[in-house]
Chain A
Amino acid sequence: MSDIDTADPAIAPIKRPTRWHIAVFLAPAVLVYTAIMILPLIETLRLSLYNLVDGQTVFVGLSNFATLFSDPRLSASFWNALGNNLIFFVIHMLVQNPVGIALAAMLSVPKLRFATFYRTAIFVPTLLSFVIVGFIWKLILSPIWGIAPSLMDLVGLKWAFAPWLGKPDSALITVSLISVWQYVGIPMMLIYAALLNIPEEVLEAAECDGITGWSQFWKIKLPLILPSIGIISILTFVGNFNAFDLIYTVQGALAGPDGSTDILGTLLYRTFFGFQNQMGDRSMGATIATVMFLIILAGVSLYLFVIQRRMRRYQF
């Protein structure tokens, strides 16, 4: 077909003027993004292959990575941080996302009163700075000044109170739940939007077939919002493996007690910038950053190339 088209002189392709405006409109974003994201990323990857030898920066190949995984102390802290990070992620997936979906499902019930108020109230913590969130929760949970002990006392649960942030067994769970509290608004909003997008006809058709209530949620709504859940999962994954801020504000750079809340972000910070009497090590920090980058890249690729392709989408 195409050769016939071009052979016809009457509809020969019109020579279009070069579309400069595309480049012009893209330029600011490309320039800014390159300057503050892409170049530092490349520089970090490069730095992970270099190290200081006798005061000179020299190319050392993969030896930084070899040190990271073979040095007994470094590798122990790395695996500890990775393990904690996984727990951090699993708690988000098990608590934040199901709760977010449940909240969205409840909000989309048409008869619910004050829906806008709930929606706003649940979303507000997401807008707060992590410094404020960290500080508020540290105060709430403080065994000395906090209101948690006295509130629990009111309902006779004083015995169940413990200095959660200071105990190695509970600190990581506590910090994860604080983060869940802060970010639960995001899955809620995305799912809420997806639920509102389901056309009335589909739901009416379901009702005609006698599918109502819970089974309507499981059989009709949930499959339709699966793509949104996929997006939320990947956002959670990237966010959790990049996390640093909340742990830093609540537990400090040492991520105590005894490294029990140390995740990759805090380990990277301490290694790269140093802490108190320990000097920063740029190369090793860059190495950890590279490993973090690869972990996130692997997770995102897995999602994009394996999971997302198999996901069914419905067109209305």
Chain B
Amino acid sequence: MTRMLKGLMLATTVLVPAALAGVANAADTALTIESWRNDDLSIWQEKLIPAFEAKNPGIKVTFAPMAPTEYNSAVNAKLEAGTAGDLITCRPFDLSLAMFEKGQLAALNDLDGIKNFSDTAKSAWSTDDGKTTFCVPMASVIHGFIYNKKAFEELKVAVPKTEDEFFALLEKIKTDGNYIPLAMGTKDQWEAATMGYYNIGPNDWKGEEGRKALIAGTQKLTDADWIEPYKTLAKWKPYLGDGFEAQTYPDSQNLFTLGRAAIYPAGSWEIAPFKAQADFEMGAFPPPVKKAGDTCYISDHNDIGIGLNAKGKNPEAAKKFLAWVASPEFATLYANSLPGFFSLNSTAVKMEDPLAQEFVSWRQNCKPTIRPSAAIVGRGKPNLDLEMWRVSANVINGTQTPEQAAEETQKGLESWYKPAK
């Protein structure tokens, strides 16, 4: 049954838009973009695609998103069956690399405009030796905390710089009682890791330094630097809303945008939806450091790219589209239609959104890093990212100690990963 259902769902999501596009003008070359960004559907349809089509008559582009958690397996099934669109949105690092190694994504080294990206930007979609790039980098997301400015003014509190200040602030909001200090739940699990562990952790494991040491095998997930963020997360528990164990991701978003919570542990992708929902001013601050004067680290994660289906039917038209995605014009358009998705293009992009500017300004003082489970150590089974979701949620729920959580992830990692000696 599930099989049938899947088939039907694929048929309705893919074939119908494709068929409609076909009806519009039979002579046009039709391109389909496979994506997991269903939140962005209207922006693609109303802003990005018309801008491209205006310049490239004769090419019709369809944006065909699906549910994020199902994207990887669904797009893989389509690629294997030869029914995938010409353009494939790329998850960063190991997932797309696996697709490239299977010959499903084409190499893009000679694409016009690929030179517009730095090696760091390309690292998420390049082979381990850095020689071949197979997706055009589109955007990165930055983690931090978004806060309700009105709440902060009412309580006469300032943005915290250190962890002690952060907890003092949470305590103050809690004593005041008007606002839930932190809007986060553990039911969906991924928030606990993505907005929790990956958000505050880089300050403890010193960003890239710790991440690379983990890959090299000189550090373990059971080292103090990797346990410390779990300990901090465990301290968040009293400041989350009542019944946070059953609070889902949309619940958290709504709690914050309805003005019932003061601080939202966030990723910058929230900016656009929050702007649309909330009727109060919002500000943002980076994850607080341990002691005043410590170097700050932020998670600046290459999140989304776009690649070429190696067996696609219209490679020429698809390459035209990719070259456009690599252009500064697209970078400006994308970053401003979707504030919070920061362009990876080397050309500086002018962003109008103040909240997005705030996030991006941290790059000047803080050292950026990516999510530790994304590259190289995220390739095996059990999947480290999913493991971290689970244990982070457990730690906040109090059903596991930080040490147990670290132990479990390290055991899972060791079961398949042998660092290069």
Contact = CB atoms under 8 A, between A and B. Distances in A.
Interface of A: 36, 40, 55, 72-73, 141-145, 149, 162-168, 244, 251-254, 256-259, 269, 273-280
Nearest to A77: B382
Given A276-B190, A280-B76, A253 B69 contact: yes
Contact of A142 (B251, B399, B412): B251
Interface stretch (B156-164, B320-328, B383-391): B383-391
Contacts of B399: 168, 257-258
Nearest to B252: A144
A149 B189 CA distance: 23
A258 B73 contact: no
A73 B412 contact: yes
A45 B217 CA distance: 41
A14 to B, nearest CB: 46
18 contacts: A73-B412, A141-B246, A144-B241, A144-B255, A149-B243, A163-B242, A163-B247, A166-B244, A257-B397, A257-B399, A258-B390, A258-B393, A269-B2, A273-B73, A273-B74, A274-B73, A276-B68, A280-B73
Contacts of A279: 72-73, 76, 95, 98
Contacts of B415: 72-73
A150 to B, nearest CB: 12
B395 to A, nearest CB: 11
Interface in B51-109: 68-70, 72-74, 76-77, 91, 94-95, 98, 102
Interface string B1-33: 011101000000000000000000000000000
Given A273-B73, A278-B386, 17 more contacts: A143-B244, A164-B246, A166-B187, A166-B243, A166-B247, A256-B390, A256-B393, A257-B186, A257-B187, A257-B393, A276-B385, A277-B383, A277-B386, A278-B382, A278-B383, A279-B72, A280-B77
B231 interface: no
B394 interface: yes
B363 to A, nearest CB: 26
A254 B390 contact: yes
A280 B98 CA distance: 13
Interface in B364-405: 373, 378, 381-383, 385-386, 389-390, 393-394, 397, 399-400
Nearest to A74: B381
B3 to A, nearest CB: 6
Interface of B: 2-4, 6, 68-70, 72-74, 76-77, 91, 94-95, 98, 102, 185-190, 241-247, 251, 255, 373, 378, 381-383, 385-386, 389-390, 393-394, 397, 399-400, 412, 415
A107 B211 CA distance: 66
Q: Output the residue of A72, A145, A162, A276 with the most chain B CB within 10 A.
A: A276
A277 B246 contact: no
B191 to A, nearest CB: 12
Contact of B243 (A73, A144, A251, A259): A144
B189 A275 contact: no
In the A-B complex, the 4 residue pairs with the smallest Cβ-Cβ separation, listed nearest first, are A143-B243, A166-B245, A166-B246, A163-B246
A166 B67 CA distance: 23
Contact of A276 (B69, B76, B242, B400): B69
B285 to A, nearest CB: 25
Given A40-B3, A73-B412, A278-B386, A256 B189 contact: yes
A35 to B, nearest CB: 10
B378 A277 contact: yes
A166 B189 CA distance: 10
B6 to A, nearest CB: 8
Nearest to B243: A143
Given A256-B393, A257-B399, A258-B393, A275 B69 contact: yes
